[in-house]
Amino acid sequence: MSHLTLKDVDGTIPGKAALVIIDLNDPWGDKPGSLMRNDVDEETQPNPVVTCWRLWEATKSDWPGHTATVVANPRAEYLRWKNGMREELGITENTDPQDYIDIMKKRS
C-alpha cells in the first residue's frame, strides 16, 4: 500500500471489486459452479467491496463447501475504508483520498 498515489484513490480510476467464489475441492472447475465471479463497480454501486460481501452473505447458503474472497482495486478499498470510518466510527472529517494514502503509508 505504500506505493499508492492520489490518482489510485481519488476517483480518476473508478473503484472496482470482484466477489470470487470457489469450491476448494474442485479448484480447476470441473463441475459447474466450482468457480464463480461477480464484478461490481462504483458506477453502479457506491461501495463495491461492501456490495460484494453483502452478495456473498445473501447467497452463501446456496454454495455449501465454497469459499469466498473479494479482490478490489485501490479506489474500491478506499471507498470501503471511508464508509467504515463514517458508518462504524462516526468519523466524517479526515476521510479524503490523501488522508487515506497517508494512513496506509504509516501502516506499511
11-29 residue pLDDT tens: 999 999 999 999 999 878 7
Contact in structure between 9 and 101 (CB atoms under 8 Å): yes
In a domain, 85, yes or no: yes
In a domain, 1, yes or no: no
Closest by Cα among 15, 37, 33 to 25? 33
Q: What is the reported pLDDT for 2?
A: 53
CA angle 79, 81, 82 (to 5 degrees): 65
* pLDDT of 43 strictly over 80: yes
Element (H, E) at 22: strand 16-23
In a domain, 16, yes or no: yes
For the chain, how many structural domains are there in total?
1
**Boundaries of domain holding 73:** 6-107
Cα distance between residue 99 and residue 105, in whole Å = 10
The percentage of residues in the chain with a pLDDT greater than 90, rounded to a whole number, is: 66
In a domain, 19, yes or no: yes
In a domain, 79, yes or no: yes
